[in-house]
Amino acid sequence: MRMTAAPNRSVKYLHNMLAHIQNLCVKASEEGNSNKHQRIRVTHWVRKLRSQPTSNPTWLKNVLEYANVLLQMILEGVIEEPFTKMPPQGPLAALPRHQVARLQAKTAKQIVRTQSAQHSSLETPPAKQQPPNNNSDENAGAVAAVDKQIQTQEQDDQWEWQRVWKGAFDKMHQQLQLKTEETEALGSENKEMRALVVGCKKALEEAERNQRDIEAKHLAEIENLRAVHALELSDLQDRHRQKLKEVTLLNDEKLLSRRRESNCIRPALSSNTMPRDDRADANADFLHYIDTFYSDTLNLMAQNKN
């Protein structure tokens, strides 16, 4: 209940302050102490401050600081940044530190003056007490209550954030440990795979080198066989030609001897000393010899081709 009552009093105090600012602006306009543009800007700032959210203590503190600074400027008659322009769109940013520090200094002076006025009121009749001092005392009490509640809320938020961040940090630490272990396992596996790849690469290079050596030996053997085959073929061709020459010479000698015999037989045939049957047998033997010669020659050529 204490945490709820303080913001309600602070919001009520904020609305009263904004209404007071609006009344001061109207009064100054009626007295001719402010121009039209300044009055319009102050009106828009009052509307902007009323529309700001105040459910969070930090937001409420920010709006109260804006309202207090604006009130002090109106009372002093000097309007400074950011109230010299129209209010921006969206949520309001925090006031500059120098303006907040100046506001706190003025609030402290008001509290001192209030305490001095209360002390002097004990020695003077009650009719001589000034109403503005009561208003300043109320303002100072409301600001102090808001500051205390904001400080308590900030401490609670800080503890909550520490608890949340500690849990998140522990979870991240566990995940990091798991990732580290997984990375180490993957690193070991990667090292083993690299060693296996290196071994396979060396074995492949050795196999390729052996294959190249075998191919080179095979090609050398083929060249040797071709050379041997060429020599054997040349030798067979030379032997075949030599044999053909020998067979041809032998054939020529036999033909020459047959011709001689034939020339010797002709005179005898002319004298009719040889019977007809004998001459027919001699011609048949000669034709048989010719057939045998050609048959042997063809067989010999076929063997040389094989």
Following DSSP, what letter does each residue of the chain receive, concatenated?
A: -HHHHHHHHHHHHHHHHHHHHHHHHHHHHHHT-S-HHHHHHHHHHHHHHHHS--SSHHHHHHHHHHHHHHHHHHHHT---TTTTSPPPSSSPPPPPHHHHHHHHHHHHHHHHHHHHHHHHHTTS-GGG--HHHHHHHHHHHHHHHHHHHHHHHHHHHHHHHHHHHHHHHHHHHHHHHHHHHHHHHHHHHHHHHHHHHHHHHHHHHHHHHHHHHHHHHHHHHHHHHHHHHHHHHHHHHHHHHHHHHHHHHHHHHHHHHHHHHHHHHHHHHHTT-S-HHHHHHHHHHHHHHHHHHHHHHHHHHHHHH-
Closest to 283 in 3D by CA, of 269, 270, 302, 297: 269
232 has a pLDDT exceeding 70: yes
Residues 73-130 pLDDT 10s: 888 878 888 888 888 887 888 887 777 777 666 665 554 454 454 444 444 444 444 4
Cα distance between residue 293 and residue 102, in whole Å: 146
Question: pLDDT by residue (tens digit) across 34-57?
Answer: 677 888 888 889 888 888 888 878
The neighbour count for residue 269, using CB atoms within 10 Å, is: 13
- φ and ψ at 271, to 5 degrees? -90, 5
**SS3 sequence, 100-133?**
HHHHHHHHHHHHHHHHHHHHHHCCCCHHHCCHHH
Q: Are 107 and 143 in contact (CB under 8 A)?
A: yes
C-alpha separations of 45 from 104, 183, 185 in Å: 21, 59, 64
Q: Name which residue leads in pLDDT, 268 or 44.
A: 44
pLDDT at 208: 93
Model confidence at 2: pLDDT above 60: no
pTM: 0.36
Does 269 or 8 have the greater pLDDT score?
Answer: 8
Residue 218 has pLDDT above 50, yes or no: yes
133 pLDDT band, cuts 50/70/90, is very low
**pLDDT grade for 209, boundaries at 50, 70 and 90:** very high
Please name which of 4, 109, 15 lies closest in space to residue 117, comparing C-alpha atoms.
Answer: 109
Residue scoring higher pLDDT (124 or 238): 238
Is a pLDDT exceeding 70 seen at residue 206? yes
Enumerate long-range contacts of 107-111, CB under 8 Å, 24 or more apart.
Answer: 107/68, 107/139, 107/140, 107/143, 110/136, 110/139, 110/140, 111/136, 111/137, 111/140
How far is it between the farthest Cα atoms of the chain?
208
Type of residue at 250: L
- Could you give the angle at which helices 2-31 and 57-76 cross, rounded to 10 degrees? 30
